[in-house]
Amino acid sequence: MAAGEGVKLIGYWASPYALRVEWALKLKGIEYEYIEEDLPNKSALLLQCNPVYKKLPVLIHDGKPVAESLLIIEYVDEVWKEKYPLLPRDPGERAKARFWAKFTDEKCVPAVMATFTSQGEEQEKHAKEAQENLKTLESGLEGKPFFGGETIGFVDISAAWIGIWAKIVGEIVNIKLVDEEKMPLLCAWLQGVLENPIIKDCLPPGEKLLEHNRGFHRMLTGAAST
Amino acid sequence: MADDLKVFRTWSSPFALRIIWALQLKGLEYETIFEDLSQKSPLLLQYNPTYKKVPVLVHNGKPISESLVILEYIEETWKQDPLLPEDPYERAKARFWAKFIDEKLSQSVIDVLLTEAKEQEEAVPRAKENLKYIEEELKGNKFFGGATIGFTDIALGWTANWLPLIEKVTGIKLIDADKFPRISEWMQNFCDVPVIKANWPSYDKMVTKIQGIREKCLAPK
């Protein structure tokens, strides 16, 4: 019946959350079928698999849906635990990893988003907060090349996209969020992650992503000025 | 070497209660440090420099913060009386509901406390919609964890304390036994668990506190 159906991933080319899950699957060498959503027209499958949030990504493993990208990555790490472990073994290190992934989502992302959607003085305030949060994220590296230590792990794939995203936002609103002088270790880390061939291979085309977000920004600021 | 466990908490923090419950359910001994959040101790700021909040668990000198992260740590370090199921898919579901409780349900419930008039009228159905998801997920089980309380029950547990308090302070009853029979029963069963019963903060103090939170929020700026 549903068992043995393998792995499917419902995603969207520009979604950073779907990207994280793809990175996890590819690093672990797990084969999967990718289903691209035609946003904003959400498919019946997506709505059926994630009725609570109606969002992607959703992983469907042997017919059973798992939602929320960080939870999907933990699920994948537990099911395929022998292949390229993403979370460390030690409970204390695992707690730190979960903490930083959560911090990225709960603090870095909203601040960068708020910088993107606001203007004037408010935007300056949000940009400052975003920079502070990125600086705090940098401290989580504890001087290592990756959050995972010598190799890319859970936090690296959870947080790397915020570096990409913050640069895009910075370019669109003309505020430097990821500052090489202020955050040298974070910048080196980001470069290190994005240089990995598996990571690089999954990235959506840079120009396309920039234009996609410019479009959003025009819509947001256009609406604000009417 | 015996484990040295310390919990930084406040008397009223619902998030800290999650940690207390988990530690006691696993039969662990710990020292409690009560914080006054208006005057945070240097130790708290040292152990949780990012958020400067409670709860913090300190295990043999190493701090862990964020209640759901702490719960996972406790679960992984002390394997007796497991809080999460063994099956990865069931674990993912338990985590999903805990996240939903923290990210969607909590705010919608608190919104009912912090608003009045039209705003509150709009907040009530939103909270009930989120509670409906929980109601459906209970599916006739005594607890989310099955026969005994688990990760999701611990995450939801604060509502068993706060919903009646919110009703007392606002007059709004979010959990109607007719419309939410499973949650109503879950609340009773949850509150009957000895570890839960033993640790509720003082009812009168909580009423005063919740009332104070509401009044502060509604006060004209």
Flag whether residue B99 sits within 8 Å of chain A, measured between CB atoms: yes
Tell if the CB–CB gap between B92 and A92 is shorter than 8 Å: no
Q: What is the pLDDT of residue A225?
A: 45
pTM higher than the cut 0.90: yes
Q: Is the pLDDT of residue A2 over 60?
A: no
Write the pLDDT tens digit of every residue in A196-213.
Answer: 999 999 999 999 999 999
> Quick one: which of A182, A170, A178, A157 has its CA closest to A69?
A157
Q: What is the pLDDT of residue A4?
A: 59
Spatial separation of the C-alpha atoms in residues A70 and B69, rounded to whole Å = 13
**Arithmetic mean of pLDDT, A108-135:** 95
Q: What is the pLDDT of residue A74?
A: 98
Spatial separation of the C-alpha atoms in residues A11 and A8, rounded to whole Å = 10
Q: Is the pLDDT of residue A8 over 50?
A: yes
Flag whether residue B65 sits within 8 Å of chain A, measured between CB atoms: yes
Chain B residues lying within 8 Å of A103, measured CB to CB: 50
Q: What is the pLDDT of residue B1?
A: 56
The shortest CB-CB distance from B73 to any of A67, A91, A136 is to A91
Structure-token pair, residue B76: 């992984």
Q: Which of residues 133-162 of A touch B (CB under 8 A)?
A: 136
The complex's ipTM works out to 0.95
pLDDT tier, A1 (very low <50, low <70, confident <90, very high otherwise) = very low
Secondary structure (DSSP) of A165-179: HHHHHHHHHT---S-
Place of tokens 């910048």: A187
Q: What is the pLDDT of residue A3?
A: 56
Which residues are registered as beta bridge partners of B146?
B143
**Shortest CA gap B173–chain A (Å):** 23
Spatial separation of the C-alpha atoms in residues A110 and A106, rounded to whole Å = 7
Domains of chain A with bracketed CATH: 7-79 (3.40.30.10), 91-225 (1.20.1050.10)
Write the pLDDT tens digit of every residue in B2-39.
Answer: 789 999 999 999 999 999 999 999 999 999 999 999 99
**Arithmetic mean of pLDDT, A60-66:** 97
Q: What is the pLDDT of residue B140?
A: 78
**Arithmetic mean of pLDDT, A182-195:** 95
**Shortest CA gap A191–chain B (Å):** 25
Pairing outcome for strands B5-9 and B31-34? parallel
Domain boundaries, chain B: 5-77, 88-218
Q: Is the pLDDT of residue A156 over 80?
A: yes
Write the pLDDT tens digit of every residue in A93-106.
Answer: 999 999 999 999 99
Burial (CB count <10 Å: 0-12, 13-18, 19+), residue A44 = exposed
The shortest CB-CB distance from A103 to any of B50, B73, B89 is to B50
> Quick one: which of A211, A206, A208, A218 has its CA closest to A117?
A218
Tell if the CB–CB gap between A95 and B64 is shorter than 8 Å: yes
Place of tokens 């635990």: A81
Write the pLDDT tens digit of every residue in B165-204.
Answer: 999 999 999 999 999 999 999 999 999 999 999 999 999 9
Looking at domain B5-77, its CATH class is alpha beta
Could you say which DSSP state residue A112 is in?
H
CA angle A30, A83, A103 (to 5 degrees): 90
Flag whether residue B86 sits within 8 Å of chain A, measured between CB atoms: no
CA-nearest residue of chain A to B93? A66
Chain A residues lying within 8 Å of B66, measured CB to CB: 98-99, 102
| Domain boundaries B88-218, corresponding CATH code | 1.20.1050.10
**Arithmetic mean of pLDDT, A144-165:** 94
How many residue pairs bridge chain A and chain B with CB atoms within 8 Å of each other?
A: 53
Flag whether residue B73 sits within 8 Å of chain A, measured between CB atoms: yes
> Quick one: which of A103, A105, A143, A111 has its CA closest to A130?
A111
Spatial separation of the C-alpha atoms in residues B134 and B99, rounded to whole Å = 12
Write the pLDDT tens digit of every residue in A211-226.
Answer: 999 998 998 887 554 3
Interface test with B, best of A30, A66, A90 (most B CBs within 10 A): A66
Edge-to-edge, what's the strand order for the sheet holding B5-9? Answer: B31-34, B5-9, B56-59, B62-65
Tell if the CB–CB gap between B76 and A66 is shorter than 8 Å: no
